[in-house]
Structure 1
Amino acid sequence: MSSIFRVPGAAAPVFARAPLAAALALALSSFAAQAQQTATPPDSDSRHVHGSGLHAKDLDAVKVTASPFGSTADQLSRPTEVLSGEKLDEARAASLGETVAGMPGVQSSNFGPGVGRPIIRGMDGPRVAVMADGLSSADVSTVSQDHSPAIEPFLADQIEVLKGPSTLLYGSGAIGGAVNVVDGRIPETAVNGISGRAETRVDIGDKDGQTSMARVDVGNGGLTIHADGVYRNAKDYDTPEGRQANTFIDNKSGAIGASLAGDWGFVGMSVSRFNDSYGNPGEPGDLAAGERGVHLEMHQDRFELKGALNDPWGQGSGLRYSFGHTSYDHTEFEGEEVGTVFKKNANEGRVEATFAADNGWKTAVGVQGSDSTFQAIGEEAFVPRTDTKSVGVFAVAQNTWGAFSTDLGARIDQVKYDTETGLSPDYKPMSLSASFGFRLNDQWRLTANLDHAERAPAEEELFADGPHIATLAYEIGGNDLQKEKANQAELGLQYRNDWVDAKVSAYYNRYNNFIYLTDTGNQWYFDEEDEYLPIRQWTQGDAIFHGFEGEATFHLANNDRVGAWDLHVFGDTVRARLADGGNLPRISPARFGAQLRWEGDAWRASLGGTRYMKQDKVAVNETPTAGYTMVDAHLAYHIDAGSTSWEVFLDGNNLLNRDARVHTSFLKDDVMLPGRNGTFGVRVFF
């Protein structure tokens, strides 16, 4: 796997061709079949690991690693969703946002298929933390809407989405929620033998591309070595109205990790590289005239150290620690010329200790710190070089008394900026949280959450001063911006019996000093393009977010004659407005959907549709977006062959070939989603 990495300037890609990944998958599975003497299906096979019986697709029993106490999703009072197993396999997409966008309350930004950042309950950008195994992704995806997160969803073991303020554990950048991608690059439990998975897929119809991945863990019961890699190449896609120019993707990523693990805990390290190249369809150029469009080339090197001690202070206690160093840069090319280079170097560390008392209380205390330097060089350097230092301390506690449970927590941070322009503001955001759960009986459970969360303004909100070509505006930061403060209340209700799993929640969030970008009414002359750009100013005002979301899975049948039949329905809506009047821009539209799913001995299939409603509650100078319906289908055939499992699958998307524009995108008037398309592929687990 040494070919995963290259010396800067050399040309040695990860899995330079898809057939290489397929060949690697076959070789690994063959080796695994010889190494394993058992006929038991492998643990890497999600079909056999997650669930059985009526609740085969219910992921609430999966452990949430973002919880300091190792709780499962159904034990938490806070709104948490986990995507793993077969559902994750069916949802995997080129971007993180698109992968998680099927969850209630979660949608995706869109700046072409190469860019998709999660939007949680209408919140995005610096309000939603994106993490890899609990540490920040340390990219610059919050600086501009055309910047992609440096996360590869095809390598995720599971993806955890924390909805609502999650600042207690992850700092002020999670005031709207957090998405944690668990990739297992540092194995936390020992592997004895060899295990892993591989996949190769090709796109058909209105999409033309391929993705191949492989990962392997080899161990002797103490030392475990991990390696993974992904190669993705996609050409411009088609829409119902024709070709969408400059929507290509060329992605290569991979990692090597190792750990020592036992009953005492584990300690390990990993090194990874993420390379991504993609087009900006908002500036497609004209290939017929020899003019290439704007495209971005991204590189990130990441080094991580992580470990844990089990029961260091008695049964139920623990100590976890992690450190990450990231070196990131991406270049925005205007045709063949370099336009702007963005660079970021970041260090982040975290230590967390947990305790268990005889009276049932579980507590966790921790400290988290980071130090980063960001700079932009070139014509779109609208944010000055900025050094950012932050440190936070937090404490959370949990207890259960019969049918009643509670989670309490507090955190305080210090965030300090130092810019080359001489500005050096600092902030001390504080967060408090109380969550309660009450089990009315074996079927019903009621939850309530009260949160006060604060956020320090981000670099672009404070210091922007220049043309931001991605949004076609001249942006001016607010040097005197105050802390953003959110007060949220949420009620949830869950019901479960042998035939249905259901949950609904409603929330109300009042923001003080909400930071947003507003038009000043003035214009700036952009001489390079001989046009005027609107001047927009980062400012503050009070805002209100409230919404509703729910989902239910009805287990219609489950027997040897007809197989297992499930009907899943869901819906969500969010309303966001300024307290003194006026709507906030680019808020996710309401939607509802349903999916009918069948599973037999070797087959599984599903057919579903999601209706995105018209979004006409728009801000000043924002246009409405028409609604649309997306229909998708999945078909898979699964084979257990001793210690190896195989799966052949076919997925279909936008089967009705509908015109679809993403309201949350700055490019919605110019860029459409792909038309009718499908994916055919093969997976192997060993």
Structure 2
Amino acid sequence: MRPSPIAMQRTALAVALALSFAPVAQAAAQDAQTSPTSDTRHAADKSGESHIKEISGVVVTASLLGDTADTLSKPTDVLAGERLDENRAASLGETVASVPGVQSSNFGPGVGRPIIRGMDGPRVAVLSGGLSSQDVSTVSQDHAPAVEPFLADQIEVLKGPSTLLYGSGAIGGAVNVVDGRIPTDAIDGVSGRAETRFFAGDQDGNTSMARIDGGNDRFALHADAVYRNALDYDTPRGRQANSFIDTRSGALGGSMVGDWGYVGLSASRFEDAYGNPGEPGDLAAGERGVHLEMKQDHYELKGALRDLWGAGNGLRFAVGHTGYEHTEFEGDEPGTVFRKNANEGRIEATFGDAQGWQGAVGAQASSSTFVAIGEEAFVPETGTRAQGVFGVARRSFGGFQLDLGARVDRVKSSPDGGDARSFSPLSLSLAGAWKLDERWKLTANLDHAERAPVEEELFSDGPHIATLAYEIGDADLRKEAANQFELGLQYQSERMDAKLSGYYNRFRNFIYLADTGESWYWDEEDEELPIRQWTQGDATFRGIEGEATFHLAANDSGDWDLRVFGDAVRATLKNGGNVPRIAPSRLGAQLRWEHMGWRASLGATRTNRQDKVADNETPTAGYTLVDAHAAKHFDTGNVSWEVFADASNLTNQDARVHTSFLKDAVMLPGRSVAFGVRVFF
């Protein structure tokens, strides 16, 4: 598939927009009258200092008490600054896959959902600004999350049970994308960023984005846009047919702001078209493969009232409405249509002070209607209603920090023509952190989390071509319950930053898709599909993960750092055998250098062979991916620039993703290189 004239025009326009923002912003900044405080804040943007800020000091917006990443007892990672820039990819899963304990699902380059500690789908919540993405990516592996990583200011990864914060769908963790589409603080003048990058080698295409924020001490406005177009990529064994992507996304937002807080609105559109490489068609015969065209509109009201009853105590609230639709095309003919309309609201109140008890209470409610129309409508129209209340409390006793939390939900799923099911998940959490001395910190977490089964697990009954199976749900499934214990150790000094954690998680009534050993046949083509049944059984997950950054040198030759990381998870069923499609273990290392505006890195990640497989599941060979990055940062007046080059799979390795249903037919791209420019103003 080659770019059409329209696609080439869009690319040229995106590049022109990205590069034209810089002089406009420079002129606006020179004309604006800024206060000393505002000058200091924006000077960081212009010089690139905020772009390379220390991640340990970044506020985790997903935390109810406004914690930074290094003060949380719960295992949390934040991608921001240059590390986020170097890891941005077309999918959210690929963007966060460098975090220990996190990997990505794969259904071609257009689809990648985060897998946290071996769990994915309805066990991992994908959030945008604290609210659910409300797409249908949990229903099937070929459905992409409606989230754009290139617009993120930071991405927060909460590992382990996060049901306490975000309800039943976060029993395995949560990934929160913070995009700033509703400004939360005053903006004096104009600021923003833009980027365009072109891919070469085994993957041809481009991605361009632009973002601009402006305002004064009372009003703040925001606008952003992304355009991505990528052709079918090459693998070491030839072209991966029907692996193209074409994405457009944009938003407008605005807020009233002040010392009292903020209240704002945003409207966004996400459009995506991508091929299903598992069904490539026959281009030689003029037959297009299966591809998906998706659009989602999202409207949001969000605000905060600060210091209502003491410094640092106030209210946060958010309300969102989402309309989602995608069509799966078989060649040029529309096939199954998936639609979802959803509303969600959330409110939180904080209280207390750092000298005594601190706490927060809140409530969350959502309603959604999901419908599939067409040949692959294997799940009936279903309405889901959920309500939850939650609270957390914290107290510090010298070098010891105690965290307590509880949440109770009510979830009701009502299928068209069937009996409704209701569940009442309960979550409880006890966490402690001991600061042993200035360098060492020990954390311990004990969590009880419960999850209500979702539509596809309860009510499926039909051929699901994406997973190449006939899926059957079980309307009598019980809620899933997990008890997890985790122990973590952190070390920080001038020479090294390190953290290591191990966890043990016992599931009661774990829900998984099991092969029955029977087959179902298409009437028309006599094509055989295995019958898979949503089943429950007790299971155990245990794992270890860690990373360390060694600060090797800081001298006239520059700053030299070595980062090493690794993770492993083992998941077994109580009645014997392994949990299906568990991500394999990994080991990785990266050497980084920075000097006088230059930075470069060279790294390798070894993904090991996965042979701990379930019945009728095949093992997957291991592979090593070698990546490299280089960038040059320089300033021109009030505008900062970066030119960069990124390279992936430099040794052109054969690589297949074990968790993918398409692993036997779809490989990861071969050797690829990207070149681009970023501008900050």
1:641 Cα shift?
Answer: 1.4
* 1:283 to 2:289 alignment: no
Matched with 2:50 is 49
Contact 1:588/1:663 (8 A) holds in 2: yes
1:269-322, Cα deviation, whole Å (9 max, x unpaired): 000000000000000000110110000000000000000000111222110000
Residue in 2 that maps onto 1:647: 642
- Are residues 153 and 529 of structure 1, via their aligned partners in 2, closer, same or farther at CA, if it must alter by over 3 Å? farther
* Cα separation, partners in 2 of 1:345 and 1:83, compared to 1, 3 Å: same
Q: Does 1:633 align with 2:634?
A: no
- Asked if 1:486 is matched to 2:488, the reply is no
Contact 1:159 1:179 in 2 (8 A): yes
**TM-fit CA distance, 1:357:** 4.5
Matches for 1:165-244 after TM superposition, within 5 Å: 165-244=161-240
Q: What amino acid is aligned across from residue 544 of structure 1 in structure 2?
A: T
Say which SS state the counterpart of residue 292 (structure 1) adopts.
Answer: coil
Matched residue, 1:126 = 122
CA separation in 2, counterparts of 1:221 and 1:234? 41
Contact 1:15 1:252 in 2 (8 A): no
Counterpart of 1:369 in structure 2 is 365
Distance 1:240 1:468 in 2: 30
1:27 aligns to 2:20 (yes or no) = yes
The answer (yes or no) to whether the contact 2:171–2:451 under 8 Å persists in 1 is yes
Q: Could you tell me whether the CA contact under 8 Å between 1:15 and 1:229 is conserved in 2?
A: no
Shift of 1:15: 11
Tell me, what secondary structure is at the counterpart of 1:17?
A: helix
Kept in 2, the 8 Å contact 1:14–1:253? The answer is no
The aligned residue for residue 544 of structure 1 is: 540
Q: Hey, what does 1:623 align to over in structure 2?
A: 618
- Residue pairs, 1:284-363, within 5 angstroms: 284-357=280-353, 359-363=355-359
2:52 counterpart of 1:59:
no
Aligned to 2:651: 656
The one-letter amino acid of 1:482's match is R
Over 3 Å counting, the alpha-carbon distance change for 1:290 and 1:14 in structure 2 is closer
Change (3 A) 1:358 1:84: closer
Structure 1 contact 18–200 (Cα < 8 Å) conserved: no
Q: How far, CA to CA, are the matches of 1:545 and 1:206 in structure 2?
A: 37
Distance 1:256-1:358 versus aligned 2 partners, 3 A rule? closer
- What is the CA–CA distance in structure 1 between the aligned matches of 2:293 and 2:337, rounded to whole Å? 10
For residue 536 of structure 1, report the CA deviation from its aligned partner.
1.0
* Closer, same or farther: CA 168–419 of 1 in aligned 2, 3 Å: same
Per the alignment, residue 670 of structure 1 pairs with 665
What is residue 558 of structure 1 aligned with on the other side?
Answer: 554
C-alpha contact 1:433 1:450 (8 A) present in aligned 2 = yes
Q: Partner of 1:291: helix, strand, or coil?
A: coil
SS at match of 1:89: helix
| Alignment match, 1:567 | 562
> Residues 15 and 230 of structure 1 are in contact (CA less than 8 Å); yes or no, is this contact kept in structure 2?
no
Partner of 1:86: 82
* CA distance in structure 1 between the aligned counterparts of 2:103 and 2:252, rounded to whole angstroms: 32
Equivalent positions of 1:576-615 (< 5 A) are 576-615=571-610
Q: Which residue of 1 aligns with 2:3?
A: none
Structure 1 residues 290, 358: CA separation in 2 closer, same or farther (over 3 Å shift)? closer
SS class of match (2:57): coil
Q: Give me the whole-angstrom Cα distance separating, in 2, the residues matched to 1:143 and 1:353.
A: 33
| Corresponding residue SS for 2:59 | coil
Amino acid at match of 2:537: G
Question: How many angstroms does 1:464 deviate by?
Answer: 0.2
SS of corresponding position for 1:498: coil
Task: Report Cα offsets for 1:491-539 as digits up to 9, x if no partner.
Answer: 0000011110000000000000000111122221112332121111101
The whole-number CA distance in structure 2 between the counterparts of 1:357 and 1:440 is 23
Q: CA contact under 8 A between 1:298 and 1:330: conserved in structure 2?
A: yes
Is 1:397–2:398 an aligned residue pair? no
Say whether the 8 Å CA contact 2:48–2:640 is kept in structure 1.
no
Q: Are residues 1:154 and 2:155 paired?
A: no
CA contact (8 A) 1:326 1:346 kept: yes
Q: Which runs of 5+ in 1 are unaligned?
A: 1-12
What is the match of residue 3 of structure 1? none
Which residue in the other structure is 1:432 paired with? 428
Q: Which secondary structure state, in structure 2, belongs to the residue aligned with residue 461 of structure 1?
A: helix
Structure 1 residue matching 2:135: 3-state secondary structure:
coil
Distance 1:325-1:198 versus aligned 2 partners, 3 A rule: same
CA contact (8 A) 1:47 1:86 kept: no
Of all paired residues, the percent bearing the same amino acid is 69
> What residue identity is the alignment partner of 1:48?
E
> Which residue in 1 is equivalent to 2:674?
679
* Equivalent-residue separation in structure 2 for 1:633 and 1:112 (angstroms): 22
Q: How far did 1:361 drift?
A: 1.0
Residue range with higher mean Cα deviation, 485-494 or 356-365: 356-365
Alpha-carbon distance between aligned partners in 2 of 1:536 and 1:46, rounded to the nearest angstrom = 56
Opposite residue 18 of structure 2, the aligned amino acid is A
Shift, 1:27, TM fit: 2.5
C-alpha distance in 1 between matches for 2:525 and 2:255: 54
Q: Under a length normalisation based on structure 2, what TM-score does the superposition of the two structures give?
A: 0.97
SS at match of 2:65: coil
Q: What is the distance in 2 between the residues matched to 1:669 and 1:538?
A: 23
Report the CA distance shift for 1:109/1:412 in structure 2 as closer, same or farther (over 3 A): same
RMSD: 1.6
Q: Which amino acid aligns with 2:10?
A: R
Whether 1:423 aligns to 2:406 is: no
**Displacement of 1:359:** 4.9
Q: TM-score, normalised by structure 1?
A: 0.96
Q: Deviations over 1:73-94 (max 9, x none)?
A: 1000100000000000000000
2-side partners of 1:14 and 1:452: how far apart? 50
Q: Name the amino acid aligned to 2:381.
A: R
1:45 to partner: Cα distance: 5.5
Q: Deviations over 1:175-212 (max 9, x none)?
A: 00000000000000111100000000000100001000
Which secondary structure state, in structure 1, belongs to the residue aligned with residue 617 of structure 2?
coil
Equivalent residue number for residue 522 of structure 1: 518
Name the counterpart of 1:495.
491
What is the letter of the counterpart of residue 615 of structure 2?
V
Amino acid at match of 2:129: D
Can you list the C-alpha shifts for 1:540-569, whole angstroms capped at 9, x where unaligned?
Answer: 00000000001000001112x111100000
The one-letter code matched in structure 1 to 2:15 is A
The one-character-per-residue Cα deviations of 1:601-642 (angstroms, maximum 9, x if unpaired) are 110000000000000000101111000000000000111112
Please say if residues 270 and 303 of structure 1, whose CA atoms lie closer than 8 Å, have aligned partners that are also in contact. yes
Q: SS at 2:494's partner residue? A: coil
Counterpart of 2:501 (choices 500, 505, 508) is 505
Structure 1 residue 339: Cα displacement = 1.2
Q: Deviations over 1:191-239 (max 9, x none)?
A: 1100000000000100001000000001022211100000000000000
Retained in 1: the 8 A contact 2:198–2:205? Answer: yes
